[in-house]
Structure 1
């Protein structure tokens, strides 16, 4: 199958119809579908449309559940603990940050701790949500029941991909949005590579023999060519990024988003699947006695962007710039979906009896 540019709006409509077919209410289905397409449009294919087959499988098996709102477990003003009740993660995380923004507006800061959420998707989306409202935010996630990443020096998995995000608003300019998995690559990137997308970096994984590799086979094992590969089926693991430094951050995510929230860490044994999530939201106005915060952020971002680039690079970028550039390109040219991913979506649409016509992007004049 040849890849061709896809219209993002029509693709989102199709994914929305799929989620409604599996029991999600229209509003919830739209939140999740738009999030997946937006993640792909911004270059985060690992958290984009490749996920729809897995979401459908999880909904059918009861691993995640449609139409579950966040349940308040503890409410102490600026500190709120939530239980996601295994609901759709994108909806739940959006609700959690809305609460964080509201409480930070009242108290100056807020800490939101959520357990048992379904896969919340691209973590940077929630840093963007807070930044649009004018708030600084820090985000930590673990994935309970997803022990697929080996800490530094280990040939065995002991943690999840454990993403971190930080957002700083830049009024009148581009916000600072840092979003990264603490594994060298997100698990979804291994899945995209296995489906005909870009290959993984050398040494992104480690086999059970302790040898580093880029072959997704060590992660997915015999399920590699299944409709929905299982990253726990192989004998190997993803590696943490940044050697001991990235490994330390991954373990911190397990302790903060896993132990502290009650979601559970990825210790020995099979835990219950779910995202644990800690978000810290800060109102910068409460600390801005000099009134210089906005100008300082703007001037520093401009300074960094204006630095002389390394040989072979056009310019220095800040976190969030690559995603904005990719989003602009997608808006003009459509979304290029790897052939294997597109085929899986079309097969799923056919199984559900949904019309998948009209997906091809029409070039803008």
Structure 2
């Protein structure tokens, strides 16, 4: 049976488990806040449902609580950082703080982050940047069991490799584009599988490379212990974008790329992220940037809505609307996910409520 919890209660429950798994109270609060924010934003795939996998990754040694980002190279506008397998929510925020400070000083910063555990919703880091008036671009690769098939391929060869772009808009809420380069995030298939739902056609292939609507093919082993795979969005275009994220977020950062079968028993998820930060106020185009950006957004939003659509939106607006709604009505956690979270708690001696 599903549960509906208010955000503060859910944060407290998650933080309790993380502390029992070895995190300091501050780290546990940071991670729990990030996960619950993903749920509030409508991205349950990156929310509290990740807790069981995090606990398993800690217990196996692939995720190291209380680790901080390590500076490998600092030339001012270039930063090379190592996440040391710490919680991505923590080392990601630390990396962004360093990068944003350099961008404010030098006008821009290129920042590479290697060996972070699962960074979570990348849009969070873009939101950090736009809150400081900065433009940010993020290219991320995912080292875990390969779950996305290359265009024309019949099995998983790489991860969901997200791309994210944040752009501040003067006097308005920002543009925050955050998307997996697969048709859908892997975590959304986990949620659908836990809820017993099938998904729409065109998202998945099964372990034989054939189209399917059963999300379990990428969640649990199928016949012969094989898995199915997600498809890239937009065919060869999304595939090309995913390869770019792998080469920039994985190879260029030194975090490594997916090029061999992964052990499905390993629960750690390792991310590399290349981030580009720009301070528009130092680019010499601030006035025209603000004017033209708002003019274009207004032009878009003035378009007549298509049948069945309330209004034309820009990236970031759906998440903000969902946050307001879920802060009032609470966050729904499906029954299977809650039982998985309870099982994770018991692994570290915490008994979450039934």
Task: Say if 1:143 and 1:162, in contact at 8 Å, map to a contact too.
Answer: yes
Distance 2:304 2:101 in 1: 41
Equivalent of 1:248 in 240, 250, 260: 240
Question: Hey, what does 2:185 align to over in structure 1?
Answer: 186
Question: Hey, what does 1:265 align to over in structure 2?
Answer: 257
Question: Hey, what does 2:335 align to over in structure 1?
Answer: 339
What is the root-mean-square deviation of aligned Cα atoms in Å? 2.0
Question: Hey, what does 1:132 align to over in structure 2?
Answer: 131
Structure 2 residue matching 1:280: 3-state secondary structure: strand
TM-score norm. by structure 2 comes to: 0.93
Distance 1:188 1:85 in 2: 24
Distance 1:197 1:90 in 2: 29
TM-aligned CA distance change 1:281 to 1:336, over 3 Å: same
Question: Hey, what does 1:362 align to over in structure 2?
Answer: none
Question: Hey, what does 1:301 align to over in structure 2?
Answer: 297
Unaligned runs of 5+ in 2: none
1:278 aligns with 2:274: yes
Distance 1:85 1:290 in 2: 37
Question: Hey, what does 1:325 align to over in structure 2?
Answer: 321
Question: Hey, what does 1:159 align to over in structure 2?
Answer: 158
* Cα displacement (A) at 1:209: 2.3
Structure 2 residue matching 1:140: 3-state secondary structure: strand
* Cα displacement (A) at 1:350: 5.1
Question: Hey, what does 1:228 align to over in structure 2?
Answer: none
* Cα displacement (A) at 1:106: 1.0
* Cα displacement (A) at 1:267: 1.0
Distance 2:343 2:222 in 1: 18
Task: Say if 2:207 and 2:228, in contact at 8 Å, map to a contact too.
Answer: yes
TM-score norm. by structure 1 comes to: 0.90
Task: Say if 1:136 and 1:167, in contact at 8 Å, map to a contact too.
Answer: yes
* Cα displacement (A) at 1:234: 3.4
TM-aligned CA distance change 1:356 to 1:171, over 3 Å: farther
Task: Say if 1:189 and 1:200, in contact at 8 Å, map to a contact too.
Answer: no
Distance 1:278 1:162 in 2: 12
Map 1:286-297; keep pairs closer than 5 Å.
286-289=282-285, 291-297=287-293
Question: Hey, what does 1:56 align to over in structure 2?
Answer: 55
Distance 1:77 1:134 in 2: 19
Task: Say if 2:207 and 2:226, in contact at 8 Å, map to a contact too.
Answer: no
Structure 2 residue matching 1:193: 3-state secondary structure: helix
Unaligned runs of 5+ in 1: 225-232, 360-365
Distance 2:285 2:40 in 1: 39
1:310 aligns with 2:306: yes
Question: Hey, what does 2:119 align to over in structure 1?
Answer: 120
* Cα displacement (A) at 1:172: 1.9
Deviations 1:109-130 (A, max 9, x none): 1011011100000000000000
Distance 1:141 1:269 in 2: 19
Structure 2 residue matching 1:275: 3-state secondary structure: strand
Task: Say if 2:21 and 2:348, in contact at 8 Å, map to a contact too.
Answer: no
Task: Say if 1:346 and 1:356, in contact at 8 Å, map to a contact too.
Answer: yes
Q: Bigger shift: 80-89 or 190-199?
A: 190-199
* Cα displacement (A) at 1:343: 2.4
Structure 1 residue matching 2:159: 3-state secondary structure: coil
* Cα displacement (A) at 1:320: 0.6
TM-aligned CA distance change 1:277 to 1:146, over 3 Å: farther
Count residues in correspondence: 349
